Structure 1
Amino acid sequence: MRDTGVVTWGELIAHGETQASVRRAVADETLVRLRRGWYARSDADARVVEAVRRGGVLSCVSALRYRGIWVPGRSDDVHARAGTSRDRTGRFCSQHGRPESVTGPVDEIPIALRHAARCLDAEGLVVVCDSIVNRKHFTPDDLASILGDTPVAVRALLGRCDGSAQSGTESMVRLRLRARNIPVRTQVVIPRVGIVDMVVGDRLIIETDGERYHSGLERYTEDRRRDREAARLGYITLRLTYADVVELWERTEEIILEIVRRRRHRWPRHNQHR
């Protein structure tokens, strides 16, 4: 498990430290006292330090992002929870149902997800659940159990999840197009091309290049080979960047809608045997 660099007094003692050695470590700044019973090494994760110093632990979308889950929105906000005590300050995230005890400086995925269910909008929660399933942390049935105490409307969102999605941007495009009743197939195998993120209608391929994906000369070259092969077979390919989906969606959506309105996403009549 990834080391956060934040430890409790009990953990220090269990690893052989004494009250005197902890005091010396604080004095020479190899340890920083965050609050009563909690300490951080000089290499500790800054997000975890802030959450603990604030009086809680890293949770909600921040804990999910920390654990490698694709989370939409800003990454610089720190989400924390206060533990079993009820928060009346508004500084902490909360979950549906009773608060849970703290087991470490960063919440595990189930607790973090239950808190994120109150912070994320519907699209954001589906995107996160797609990522959790895709990374094989939990199955859809597991997620239904984890979110068992959430309102019916929240649990119903699990029916829109697709764990085959390779990135959050892919999930976002799928959800937005289906919300407009545009037919979308995901992770489609096309001979001589390979697996593509989405196919709209018959022949409009949409590839979503996530923020950290499709970089490097080798990947770039292979993507262009696939695009050429798809064109030879009669497909139209739209390759969307992270910014196209997250920051410029209105413009991007209009391009897709124009292709659909002109029925260019369907095979011409002479190709309907495909």
Structure 2
Amino acid sequence: MDRFDCAGVLAAGFGVASWKQLRCAGMTRTELRTAVRNADLRCVRRGWYATPWANRDVVTAVSEGGVLSCLSALRLHEVWVPGSSETVHVRARASAHRGVHTTFCEQYGRPESELCSIDELTVALRHALKCLDDEGIVVVCDSILNQQLLDLSDLDVQFRSAPVRVRRLLDRCDEQAQSGTESMTRLRLRSRGIGVRSQVTIPGVGIVDLVVGTSLIIEVDGYETHSSKEQFEKDRERDRKAVELGYIVIRLTYHQVVHEWTDVEDTIMDLIRRREHRKPVVERSELVSDDT
């Protein structure tokens, strides 16, 4: 047996692999029985085995008769995915769809064979198109584009079986978006007819997430966890420099974007109604000249 190949197969499946995969990697039935007896592997479904360190969601998906896919698989592929991670998204072979299980994820078009315990990025994405709303689809695609996991032409291929309405969402994607909450903020403001620029470089300040008009900067935290003390200090120093130049800075947390958007939107719209976003700003060169 080529133990390296078996280890690689198990690693690729986040600790879960089929007997077919293990056999192709060089494992014999005797070695499989020994591994099970020694608790190095355990059977989670007929023909599928897991290590003691296997990912819990992957084990759950395989135990339920399918493989991990859709939003759950995208998260393991390190794609920014909206919503809770508590639900395990599973998709199964065509025969399983004829059973009593009603929670399998589906893609546009025919179901595919199970090749691994977790779907590759493209297969997971195709299944996510049916589980996400329009905003969620754009958020996920922004993350994929930003990390250069796929390019726009690749996404176009994956969307071909989807309805025209879904395919048109690619026109709203932005590869510059640094987080899902940034994407959400951009999309929600644009849906109100507000012009928003992404990842704007401001001399003396640096790159900011979003700019509305000439003088309203919106910075968006990408995750629910707090940043380090060092990053906190850097962010506030950037805010101070921006204010010094005449900008208004709104810094939004993950929680505010995801759970308190109505209040956030009211604040932004109030600033826009008062034309605060159109106030003139000072060029950095002018500020330096005045100081001297």
> Which of 226, 239, 242 is the equivalent residue of 2:238?
226
Corresponding residue for residue 260 of structure 1: 272
1:44-123 mapped onto 2 (5 Å cutoff): 44-85=54-95, 87-88=97-98, 89-123=101-135
Number of aligned residue pairs: give it.
272
- CA distance in 2: counterparts of 1:245 and 1:81, whole angstroms: 30
> Which of 5, 14, 27 is the equivalent residue of 2:37?
27
SS at match of 1:29: coil
| Larger CA deviation: 175-184 vs 29-38 | 29-38
SS at match of 1:7: strand
- CA distance in 1: counterparts of 2:267 and 2:278, whole angstroms: 16
Corresponding residue for residue 194 of structure 1: 206
| Larger CA deviation: 95-104 vs 181-190 | 95-104
Residue pair 1:85, 1:99 contacting (<8 A) in 2 also? no
Residue identity over aligned pairs, in percent, reads 53
* CA RMSD of superposed structures (Å): 2.0
Does the C-alpha gap of structure 1 residues 14 and 145 become closer, same or farther in structure 2, counting only changes over 3 Å? closer
Residue pair 1:84, 1:102 contacting (<8 A) in 2 also? no
SS at match of 2:136: helix
- Deviation of residue 254 (structure 1)? 0.9
Corresponding residue for residue 3 of structure 2: none
Return the TM-score normalized by structure 2. Answer: 0.88
- CA distance in 2: counterparts of 1:85 and 1:56, whole angstroms: 11
CA deviations over 1:199-221 (Å, ceiling 9, x no partner): 01111000001116771122112
Residue pair 2:142, 2:174 contacting (<8 A) in 1 also? yes
- Deviation of residue 16 (structure 1)? 4.1
Instruction: State the AA in 1 paired with 2:65.
Output: G
| Larger CA deviation: 92-101 vs 81-90 | 81-90
- CA distance in 2: counterparts of 1:145 and 1:77, whole angstroms: 28
Residue pair 1:6, 1:39 contacting (<8 A) in 2 also? yes
Residue pair 1:59, 1:107 contacting (<8 A) in 2 also? yes
- CA distance in 2: counterparts of 1:110 and 1:17, whole angstroms: 29
- CA distance in 2: counterparts of 1:106 and 1:243, whole angstroms: 30
| Larger CA deviation: 65-74 vs 220-229 | 220-229
Does the C-alpha gap of structure 1 residues 270 and 84 become closer, same or farther in structure 2, counting only changes over 3 Å? closer
SS at match of 2:144: helix
Corresponding residue for residue 156 of structure 1: 168
Does the C-alpha gap of structure 1 residues 140 and 270 become closer, same or farther in structure 2, counting only changes over 3 Å? closer
SS at match of 2:277: coil
Does the C-alpha gap of structure 1 residues 42 and 77 become closer, same or farther in structure 2, counting only changes over 3 Å? same
Structure 2, unaligned runs of 5 or more: 1-7, 287-292
